[in-house]
Amino acid sequence: MSRGYDDRDGKIWMDGAMVDWRDANVHILTHGLHYASSVFEGERSYSGKIFKGHEHSLRLIESGRLLDMPLPWSAEELDAAKEAVLTENGLQDAYIRAIAWRASGPDIGVSAARNPVSVAIAGWEWGSYYGDAKWQGAKLDISTWKRPDPETIPAAAKAAGLYMICTMSKHAAEAKGCSDALFYDWEGYVAEATGANIFFVQNGEIHTPLADRFLNGITRQTVIEMARDRGMTVHERRIRPEELTGFSECWLTGTAAEVTPVAKIGDLDFPIGPITREIAEAYERLVRS
């Protein structure tokens, strides 16, 4: 068995200071542990350069604001801290996790306005999120859970609590031999995977669910801009499940997923076609440019 993420060498940035990896701890009565008052970012560095790191810092701050949890650090300060983590740990191609949470303080009930907000940043070497599916195509189960109405959750925040159904859905998918699970939203439209946005191809044009009911991923935005710059037509719209049979290609996007082709959704098969390959290759060139 591989070592856990709590048992590693290296340094983690916590509230302005570098601490030894194994000493990067919080108290059991930390508010974020009890009430999911936590937001985070996942980022990748390529050859020592974090891709769109400033955009991720801005989104972390915005996620905190949406949870009524103002961060005590500016985007520029977070940028510098992430660079320091890479340097301190000698990382080049790496995954960076920035997280902010309501820490321990005078409150442990639902209300925690008096508790300070802590921020930590860690980085480690990490390969393909989906393993061999990155090249062979991911297999997606269809989750029994639905993405909820944005009037019930802060859908634009990358908040830890919103990933509870993602964990359960991914466990169920993996038990069936799948890589991930596809969510529909509360009205029955196609939404996203557990940690990645989804794209389809029909008659040479790209279709993707409108991201006003779930997180509008930074990689998603990058791929849409990249495709349009290449003269491709991209439709952001509501997609019904019955439309899946009419699509010829499919892929996922995300910082961890990068651009991963999808080979199967439920009983439907999708070949890894030319548009998927072109987008994946173009994205790989872009992040390493």
The full set of domain ranges for the chain reads 11-124, 133-287
Distance, in Å, from the CA atom of 188 to the CA atom of 129, rounded to the nearest integer, reads 27
Q: Which CATH entry fits the domain spanning 133-287: 3.40.50.720, 3.20.10.10, 1.10.560.10, 2.40.70.10?
A: 3.20.10.10
What's the confidence (pLDDT) of residue 134? 80
Catalytic residues: 158
What's the confidence (pLDDT) of residue 124? 97
For residue 90, how many other CB atoms are within 10 A of its CB? 9
Q: How would DSSP label each residue in 197-214?
A: EEEEEETTEEEEE-SSSS
11-124 against 133-287: fold identical: no
What's the confidence (pLDDT) of residue 1? 41
92 HSE (CA, 13 A, CB side): 2
- 3-class DSSP assignment, residue 143: strand
Q: What are phi and psi of 187, to 5 degrees?
A: -95, 0
Could you tell me if 117 and 100 are in contact, meaning their C-beta atoms sit under 8 angstroms apart? yes
What's the confidence (pLDDT) of residue 101? 98
Tokens of 48: 């020592």
Tokens of 234: 């991209």
Could you tell me if 275 and 248 are in contact, meaning their C-beta atoms sit under 8 angstroms apart? no
Question: What's the pTM?
Answer: 0.96
Residue that the structure tokens 């996203």 belong to? 192
Residue that the structure tokens 């935005």 belong to? 221
Distance, in Å, from the CA atom of 182 to the CA atom of 136, rounded to the nearest integer, reads 18
Q: How would DSSP label each residue in 46-114?
A: ETTEETTHHHHHHHHHHHHHHTT---SS-HHHHHHHHHHHHHHHT-SSEEEEEEEEE-SSS--SS--TT
Tokens of 70: 């103002």
What's the confidence (pLDDT) of residue 279? 98
Residue that the structure tokens 């990155």 belong to? 134
Q: For residue 89, which of 135, 129, 126, 130 has the smallest C-alpha distance?
A: 126
CATH class of 11-124: alpha beta
Distance, in Å, from the CA atom of 265 to the CA atom of 270, rounded to the nearest integer, reads 8
Q: For residue 10, which of 94, 68, 80 has the smallest C-alpha distance?
A: 94
Q: For residue 64, which of 26, 13, 101 has the smallest C-alpha distance?
A: 101
Q: For residue 124, which of 14, 8, 217, 13 has the smallest C-alpha distance?
A: 8
- Point out the residues of the chain with pLDDT beneath 70: 1-2
Residue 176 amino acid letter: K
